Copies of this chain bind each other. A is one copy, B any other.
Amino acid sequence: MIRVLIFGATGYTGLELIRILSSHPEVIIAGGSSRQWQGQQASQALPFIRPDRDFPMVELEKLLANPQADLAFLALPHGESASLIRPLVKAGIKVIDLSADSRLHDPLVYEQWYGPHKDPAILSKVVYGLPEIHREEIRNASIVANPGCYPTTVILGLAPLVHRDDVDTSVAVVDSKSGVSGAGRGGKLGTSFCEIAESFAPYGVLNHRHIPEMEQELSQLKGQPVRVRFTPHLIPVTRGMVSTIYVPLKQEVTGETLRQACADHYRSEPFVKVLPGGTFPQTVHVRGSNMCHIAVEVDERTGWVVVMSALDNLVKGASGEAVQNMNIMMGLVETAGLTGFPLFP
């Protein structure tokens, strides 16, 4: 059995790791950190944890001081992961960082969007953990940066198209919508029930921090700079994310041709499904599962392509992807613990 630690066990990505790993046949959670619940068992913080899957929660510093595990998940707020990576790796523990701290390779770009990095030298040793793009590097990595939820939808949506001559992926308009759990667990007026339920609104218009991550990966894939016009919105659902991506055509091509190209591209991927023409991704069809559903349509009237991709921001957009990365890094079956169907309805 693989032993793992969860730094930040009671935030939403931590809780989701616990949920997913409760069905994983080869993993034991050896411990978790929680400021609020330190000194207690996980089942005391959350009444749904079964006794046979219980584990101790301690302060972060204590967990870091003597980490007995094969792999650590860092499910901490942004800015709090960076300084943990080096000591864990030194202790021989592989690291999957679910925060944004390690995702950008270029420290200058990081600084521009997030401020100074606490350990910039580490960035060059990190693999960007999107298995559909970097599977082989992940296999040998010690440190994996788990992608952001928005970038996962956008990169998976555009990856099959970047090398095509008929689509101009350098001009991408990305309109994304996310469930509220993406904002993390905590008591904020802006994410309180009465302010969010029955509401819908854009936020972080044109300056969301996931932009450089999308541009880094898409530019690298394409071999030339890609810039995105990106507007995220908050949907009054707990889980779920849809990105609607608009790119102009350079030559005439049918939707069927592009769908077929996408389907071919992802033929052997267990967690990406390209939908038939005229059907569109729906968040409840992926909720609780590690799937990303993608649809592609061509607007012949105007000569643009619309790519739509949906996933559960806590699963394929966070903790499910992290477990997929763990499976790859530890030599397990890549789909282990991730084959359950979504919760529908």
| A343 touches B (CB below 8 Å) | yes
User: Which residues in chain A, 13-27, are within 8 Å of chain B measured between CB atoms?
Assistant: 15, 18-19, 22-23
The smallest beta-carbon distance between A236 and chain B, in angstroms, is: 6
Chain B residues with CB under 8 Å of A308's CB are: 202, 205, 231
Given contacts A193-B192, A205-B306, contact A233 B239 (CB under 8 A): no
Produce 1/0 per residue, A188-207, CB < 8 A to B.
Answer: 11111111111111110110
Asked if A82 is at the interface of the complex by the 8 Å CB criterion, the answer is no
Q: How far is the CA of A189 from the CA of B183 in the complex (A)?
A: 12
- A293 to B233, alpha carbons, bound, how many Å? 16
Q: Does A261 contact B (CB under 8 A)?
A: no
Q: Hey, which chain B residues are within 8 Å of A188, CB to CB?
A: 187, 192
* Cβ contact within 8 Å between B197 and A197: yes
> Is B194 a contact of A22 with CB atoms below 8 Å?
no
CB distance B194 to A192 under 8 Å?
no
**Residues 197-222 of A contacting B (Cβ, < 8 Å):** 197-203, 205-206
A255–B19 alpha-carbon span in the complex (Å): 32
Is A229 located at the chain interface by the 8 A CB criterion? yes
**Interface flag for A319 (CB, 8 Å):** no
- The answer to whether A177 touches B177, judged by C-beta atoms less than 8 angstroms apart, is yes
Decide yes or no whether A163 CB sits under 8 A from chain B: no
Say yes or no for A168: interface residue by CB 8 A criterion: no
Judge if A47 is at the interface, Cβ distance under 8 Å.
yes
The interface residues of chain B lying within 8 Å CB-to-CB of A179 are 200
Report yes or no: B306 in contact with A46, Cβ–Cβ below 8 A.
no
Number of A residues, CB within 8 Å of B? 85
A330: Cβ under 8 A from any B Cβ: no
Query: Once the chains bind, are B192 and A343 in contact (CB under 8 Å)?
Result: no
The residues in A between 302 and 341 inclusive whose CB is less than 8 angstroms from any CB of B are 302, 304, 306, 308, 310, 339-341
A339, B189: Cβ atoms closer than 8 Å: no
Q: Can you tell how many copies of this chain the complex includes?
A: 4
A215 → chain B, closest Cβ, in Å? Answer: 10
> Considering the chains assembled together, what is the distance between the CA atoms of A197 and B194 in angstroms?
10
A286 to B18, CA, bound (A): 15
The interface centre, meaning the residue of A181, A236, A287, A339 with most chain B CB atoms within 10 A of its CB, is A236
Are A189 and B198 within 8 A (Cβ)? Answer: no
Most chain B CB inside 10 Å of its own CB: which residue of A233, A285, A345: A345
A105 CB, nearest partner CB in chain B, Å? 19
- Residue A237 is within 8 A (CB to CB) of chain B in the complex: yes
CB-CB under 8 A from A50, the residues of chain B are 339, 341
Using A227-B301, A273-B47 as known contacts, say yes or no to A345 and B201 having CB atoms under 8 A apart.
no
28 pairs of residues in contact across A and B, judged by CB atoms under 8 Å: A15-B345, A22-B341, A46-B344, A48-B285, A50-B339, A173-B175, A173-B304, A177-B200, A180-B197, A187-B188, A187-B192, A191-B192, A192-B193, A195-B345, A198-B237, A198-B240, A198-B283, A200-B310, A202-B281, A202-B295, A202-B308, A203-B280, A205-B295, A206-B298, A206-B299, A227-B301, A233-B244, A236-B236
With A186-B187, A202-B281 given, can you name 19 additional A-B contacts, CB distance below 8 Å? Answer: A15-B345, A19-B342, A23-B23, A47-B273, A47-B285, A48-B285, A180-B194, A185-B192, A187-B188, A197-B237, A198-B237, A198-B240, A198-B284, A200-B240, A200-B282, A200-B283, A206-B297, A231-B308, A235-B236
